[in-house]
Amino acid sequence: MKIHCQIHEDGEIQVDENLRAWPCCYFDTANTEGKGKTGDKYVDSLPEDWNSLNKHTLDEILKHEVFTTHFNDEHWNDSEKCSPVCKKFCTQEFENFKPIFVKDERKTMARCNENISEILEPEDIDKMQRRVEQHFQKVLEALRIDTESDHNTKETAKRVAKMFVREIFSGRYEPKPEITAFPNINHYDELYVTGPIRIRSTCAHHFQPIVGNAWIGIKPAKNVIGLSKFNRLVDWVASRPQIQEEMTVQIADVIQDETEAESVALIIKAEHMCLTHRGVKEHESDMTTSVMRGEFREYPHIKQEFLALLNGMKGIDK
């Protein structure tokens, strides 16, 4: 590997003069764990296209994955990775383009239960998955798990990253499922109920599963949608870290948007693993939340009809 920079006895850093950015911020050192001791040689661990990248402008370089995955506050503040000598050397350069990095990163930040698919570029999800893998590997190391010798955890960081980004949190990064609404040509205006619809979500406080069922009541208005579309919408909203109360409201919102119905009722009953598998470890507890809108809220007899119909459905305790 090509050596790009070296710390000398007098503290001077010798840098490859053809390098446009400072590699001391992206090194893997040989046997020193990156502590920046005198005599350390910072070995090139950058991508193969780094040399061609050096010919580009700083603006273009900053968009490269090596910056978005390594050059950040966590790296800068970690003395194990960024030595005081290196830090002194590149402080001015770091301050010049750090704000660009932060701006680029934060434009796709949002609350944990918000969908951000509209502000993500196609390549962002792949980058996010790689970054989660890198950081979860550090979590395993912090837990003193030797993933090199432990066959059970050798690929765990990779699997967990894929699980978070592509599966259990996919409702944050994937667009809303395409829903075809049909006109209610017969003007059906009676209540109908669908469920149980399986809920698989994640508690935002401890990142533990929330597992349960949802039941939806609706008095159709202008549009009707297929029964399976309720399942898809529920799964899309549920596949995010969140709390059950907010999830219930979000599901009701999206159902109203798609059906244009004013009267929607929703009940969710779920078990929270943050309660059953940690803390008090109470295995008999669950949580029930509800949203009543339109006639379900205004007229007690409509709400009672909904609750009576639920008693005859699967998954409801008699």
| pLDDT over threshold 50, residue 38 | no
Q: What is the pLDDT of residue 4?
A: 43
Which structural domain, as residue segments, surrounds residue 132?
117-173
* Residue at a domain's end among 49, 77, 106: 106
Confidence band, pLDDT 50/70/90 cuts, at residue 9: very low
State whether 194 and 303 are in the same domain.
yes
Q: What is the pLDDT of residue 275?
A: 86
State whether 188 and 264 are in the same domain.
yes
Burial classification of residue 142, based on how many CB atoms lie within 10 Å of its CB (0-12 exposed, 13-18 middle, 19 or more buried): exposed
Pick from 16-30, 190-204, 251-265: least confident:
16-30
Q: Is residue 62 part of a domain?
A: yes
pTM for the structure as a whole: 0.68
State whether 195 and 169 are in the same domain.
no
| pLDDT over threshold 70, residue 92 | no
State whether 190 and 243 are in the same domain.
yes
Half-sphere exposure of 136 (CA within 13 A, CB side): 19
Average pLDDT of the chain to the nearest whole number: 76
Q: Is residue 318 part of a domain?
A: no
Q: Tell me the mean pLDDT in the region 22-36.
A: 38
Give me the phi and psi of 262, to 5 degrees please.
-80, -30
Q: Is residue 221 part of a domain?
A: yes
Pick from 9-18, 36-45, 75-84, 139-148: least confident:
36-45
Confidence band, pLDDT 50/70/90 cuts, at residue 146: very high
